[in-house]
Structure 1
Amino acid sequence: MSKAFLAQVIQESADTTGVAANRAATDVMQAIIRELKKNGRFTLPSFGTFIVRKTKARKGLNPRTGEAIKVKAGKTVRFKASPSLKKVV
C-alpha cells in the first residue's frame, strides 16, 4: 500500500479532490508518527498495533566483503496484526 493508494481511497470515499485527499493521507500518516514518537505504540482496532522497539548493539557481517562490523543500538517499528485481521487474511 502506498500513500497514493491511500489518497485515492480517501478521494473516492469522501468524494473530494485529489489534493484534499492527498493532504488527508499525509495528515493521517503524520498523526500515526506523532503517536509512535509520543507513546511508543499506535493501535487501529480490528487491524493491528504498531510498536516501537529498541534494538541492542550487535555484531554483523558486511555481505559484500564478509567483514565483521558493529551495528549500533537503535529503534525499529514492529507491527502485530489483530486476530480479526489474521482471520480475514
Structure 2
Amino acid sequence: MSKAFITDVIQNSTGITGVAANRAATDVIEAIVKELKKKGKFTLPSFGTFTVRKTKARKGVNPRSGEPIKVKAGKTVRFKSSPTLKTRV
C-alpha cells in the first residue's frame, strides 16, 4: 500500500479533488505518527494495532565484507492484526 493508493481511495469515496485527497492522506499519516510518538501505540479497530518497541544495541555482520559491525539501539514499529482482519483475509 502506498500513499498514492490511500489518496485514490479517499478521492474516489468522497469525490474531492486529488490535491485535497493527497492533503487528507498526508494528515492521516501524520496523525498516526504523532500518536505513535506520544503514546507508543495506535489502534485501528477491526484492523490492528501498531506499537513502538525499543531495540537493543547488538553486533551484526556486513553482508558484503563479512566483517562484524555494531548496530545502535533504536526503535521499531510492530503491527499485530486484529482477529477480525485475520478472518476477513
TM-score bin (small chain): over 0.9
Partner of 1:32: 32
Structure 1 match to 2:59: 59
Query: What is the distance in 1 between the residues matched to 2:87 and 2:65?
Result: 43
Q: Which residue of 2 aligns with 1:81?
A: 81
Cα shift at 1:61: 0.3
CA RMSD of aligned residues (A): 0.4
Note the alpha carbon deviations across 1:10-65, whole angstroms, 9 max, x for none.
Answer: 00101110000000000000000000000000000000000000000000000001
Write the distance in 2 (CA, Å) between the matches of 1:14 and 1:73.
43
Show structure 2 runs of 5+ residues with no match. Answer: none
Q: Which amino acid aligns with 1:40?
A: G
CA distance in 2 between counterparts of 1:16 and 1:69 reads 50
Partner of 1:19: 19
Query: Counterparts of 2:19 and 2:72 in 1: how far apart (Å)?
Result: 40
Q: Which residue number in structure 2 is paired with residue 68 of structure 1?
A: 68
Compute the displacement of 1:88 (Å): 1.0
Q: Letter of the aligned partner of 1:39 in structure 2?
A: K
Q: What are structure 1's unaligned runs of at least 5 residues?
A: none
Identity %: 76
